[in-house]
Every structure is written in C-alpha cells, then in structure tokens.
Amino acid sequence: MILKNVCFYNELFEKEVADIEIENGRIKAIGVIDGAGRDMSGMLALPGFVDIHIHGAAGGDCSDASTESLEKISVYLAKHGVTSFCATSMTLGHDTLMDIAKTVHAYAGREAGAKIAGINLEGPFIAMGKKGAQNPAYIRPGTVAEFNDIDSASGNMVRLITIAPEAFGSDDFISAVSKKCAVSIGHSAANAKEAQHAFDLGASHATHLYNAMTPMTHREAGIAGTALDNDKVFCELICDGGHVCPAVLRNTFKILGENRACVISDSMRAAGLGTGEFELGGQKVYVREGGRYAVLEDGTIAASISNVFDEFKNLLSYGIDLKTALKSCTINPARAIGADKKIGSIAPGKAADLVFTDGEFNIKEVYINGILA
C-alpha cells in the first residue's frame, strides 16, 4: 500500500511531506515513491500514540484477567489515537497477578485495536502510606522470585514495575529486575537519598510524577525532585488537568525538556462511560458529574478517565510546544520500555502506526500495522 502526499512528523519530529509505502504492517519506504496510491492531502499524520500506564477503559480493566476486557480497552484506545499500550495491573494477590499475566500473554497478537506492548505491574511492592487507590490487603515486600513467576507466566512481557524502594530491602530486587524491565519509583514515601540510591542501582522511571510520592520542597527534593534532577530518568505525567495542575506541568516540562516526559492516562474502566459507580482493584470508585477523574468514597483521587490523545491536546492548550507534547506521547514512552525500535515514530522499518487528523488535531483515521482501525 502507498499513501501519497502525506504531511507527517518524521523521526526527528519535524514536519515533512512525502509518500509512505507500507508492506507487511511496517513502513517500507518514505520519499517519492512510484506507483498509484491513496492521496492523503489535507490531513496530518502523527505517530501512533503509546500509553504505558493504563488500567482500563470502556468498561474493561486489565485486572479483570479476561480477554473480553482487554478487547474493550484495545478497541477504545484505537478510536482515540493510541496504537500501543501496556496492560497495567494493580496491587493484587499473587494468583490474580499470575492470571493477568497469562491472559495478556494469550491475548497479545490478537488485538482488535491497539496493540499490547507489554505489562506494567503497578505494585504490589509499594508503601502502605502512599497506597493511593491500591488495595492495602495485598501490599507486600518485593521478591525477585515473585517477579520472575509473574514475568514467566506472561511470556516475559513485563516491561515496567513500580516499587517503593524504602518499603523493603530493595537493593537486590532493583539490581536484578532492572536487567529485565524498567523499574519505577512510585507509591513511595522514600526521601531524596533513598530515591537517588534506587536510581543509582538501576531504577529508571518515576510513576505518575507528583502523585503518591514524596513531594519536592525547597529543603528536600523528595522523589519528585530527585527524579527531575536525574537526566536519565523518565517521568510519567497524567495530563488530564486534575492530577497535576497546568502551571506545574509547564514548569515540569521546562525541566524535563522534550525527551524525558511520558504522558500516561492511568485510566480505569470508567474512561469513556460518563458518571457512575465503578470498581477498581476491588474497591468502589466514583465519577461525579463534571469530574475529570475517579475518586474513592473519601474523595481521594483513584484514577484518570482520560486518554493520552486528549491529554496531548490539553498540553497544547497549556502552552507546551507541539514537538515536546508529541514526543511525550509517542517516542518517549516507547523508549522508556525499550520498544522504540518498533514503535513511537514514523520511520522506515517501524510499525505502520499512523494517526491522521485535521489541522485542529481531530482524529480522522487510525492505522495500526498498516490496517485501518
């Protein structure tokens, strides 16, 4: 298939006009290509968006451990410009996490929409005092053996795991597990010294920056400030306008630049469904009228109900430059999980994941592996 006269953002995230040839689900060539094809004039092509932290959407949750739920999420995401995602679990019992891992492994490759790029284990090795909406009944010390069990059950699909380094003897865990996937600090009360030690051992990521972690003050950097201060650490940001206020987001992007932010949804099954009562990790959560996120009964923020493409448009409205916003939704998260050779930008050899929009970034068409979704 040849797409003619495509106005797109290339692998340098600069605007270019060229033909794109797609073969066997991948981009074969970009340039002036002989042969007939579909004229894409009048639309703008963006790389397929990548959400590395999403629990659910459209009534399905990754923790349901069901292919039906994964299918709902996959189809929903494709409609919203997200072409790859990490199925994200919560703090749950060992047997449940094993079931989730097996289900994701069995479903991967059969998606009806967005592709599963891996598994994100958000917990269970976190801090009780920073549990947020995680179920305290299942919080426990981390062991390499349990991680290996889950990763093995998934067919080695775990790409990211969140831990609280101060909550257990984590040195050996970080040293061993960081060789297999990205280790992220989150749901943690670690101080700056403890956070830096974890980064020195191999942790390379911060889970939903500012939320469920020690904050940065003028006297103590906390996890947030320590992550920002480390040039090799990727920082997740929920950009729904509620989890982190726009002014803080603007300041954060000034520090992170264009290569370190990973925009995530952190959404749960209520995404796309409106108001109501829902279940998240065995707990009741609520989406109120006009709410931008789900909350626990006591009002604690539980999860987002947004999606990464809408958050991309939020960033533009907050004054974040287009290149930085786009990279933060595509190549940066792909790089954070080691998938940037396959997804995250428009380049020869990569998956033909393309999001076509109008000039106002309203989605018109989405291609996943070269197939119209």
Q: For position 310, which CATH number holds?
A: 3.20.20.140
Structural domain contains residue 355: no
> Is residue 269 domain-shared with residue 198, that is, in the same domain?
yes
Under 8 Å between Cβ of 354 and 345: no
Structural domain contains residue 63: yes
Distance CA(90)–CA(269), nearest Å, equals 13
Distance CA(269)–CA(238), nearest Å, equals 16
> Is residue 222 domain-shared with residue 153, that is, in the same domain?
yes
> Is residue 123 domain-shared with residue 246, that is, in the same domain?
yes
> Is residue 299 domain-shared with residue 258, that is, in the same domain?
yes
Give the CA distances from residue 290 to residues 182, 237, 273, 287, in Å, rounded to whole numbers and listed in that order.
Answer: 35, 22, 13, 8
Strand partners of residue 31: 19
pTM, full prediction: 0.96
Is 243 annotated to bind ligand?
A: no
Three-state DSSP class for residue 9: strand
Three-state DSSP class for residue 151: helix
Under 8 Å between Cβ of 177 and 201: no
Distance CA(55)–CA(157), nearest Å, equals 16
Strands 82-89 and 234-238: unpaired
Is 94 annotated to bind ligand?
A: no
Q: How many CB atoms lie within 10 A of CB 232?
A: 7
> Is residue 108 domain-shared with residue 38, that is, in the same domain?
no
Structural domain contains residue 350: no
**pLDDT beneath 50: ranges in the chain:** none
> Is residue 231 domain-shared with residue 337, that is, in the same domain?
yes
Both structure tokens of 62: 């990754």
> Is residue 196 domain-shared with residue 296, that is, in the same domain?
yes
Under 8 Å between Cβ of 293 and 302: yes
Structural domain contains residue 15: yes
Three-state DSSP class for residue 45: strand
Amino acid at 142: G
The pLDDT assigned to 335 comes to 99
Strand partners of residue 98: none
- Residues 6 or more apart from 237 whose CB is under 8 A from it? 208, 209, 244, 249, 252, 261, 262, 263, 264, 328
Structural domain contains residue 356: no
Under 8 Å between Cβ of 171 and 151: no
Structural domain contains residue 351: no
Distance CA(70)–CA(65), nearest Å, equals 8
> Is residue 123 domain-shared with residue 266, that is, in the same domain?
yes
The pLDDT assigned to 86 comes to 99
The pLDDT assigned to 52 comes to 99
Distance CA(150)–CA(99), nearest Å, equals 9
Can you give the CATH number for the domain in which 31 is found?
Answer: 2.30.40.10
> Is residue 253 domain-shared with residue 318, that is, in the same domain?
yes
> Is residue 111 domain-shared with residue 139, that is, in the same domain?
yes
What is the enclosing helix (H) or strand (E) of 365? strand 363-368
Long-range contacts of 256-260 (CB under 8 A, 24+ apart): 256/228, 257/324, 258/323, 258/324, 258/327, 258/328, 259/327, 259/332, 260/231, 260/233, 260/234, 260/235, 260/332
Under 8 Å between Cβ of 173 and 203: no
Under 8 Å between Cβ of 275 and 62: no
Residue 266, by phi and psi: left (phi above 0), alpha (psi -120 to 50) or beta? Answer: left
Helices within 33-113 (DSSP H only): 67-79, 94-107
Residue 24, domain extent: 2-44+361-372
Under 8 Å between Cβ of 114 and 86: no
Clarify whether 266 is annotated catalytic.
yes
> Is residue 165 domain-shared with residue 227, that is, in the same domain?
yes
Is 80 annotated to bind ligand?
A: no
Neighbour-count burial of 145, counting CB atoms closer than 10 A to its CB (0-12 exposed, 13-18 middle, 19+ buried):
exposed
Structural domain contains residue 261: yes
Structural domain contains residue 190: yes
Q: Which candidate in 64, 240, 266, 353 is catalytic? A: 266
Number of structural domains found in the chain = 2
Digit-coded pLDDT (tens) for 274-303 = 888 888 877 788 988 777 888 888 888 888
> Is residue 128 domain-shared with residue 23, that is, in the same domain?
no
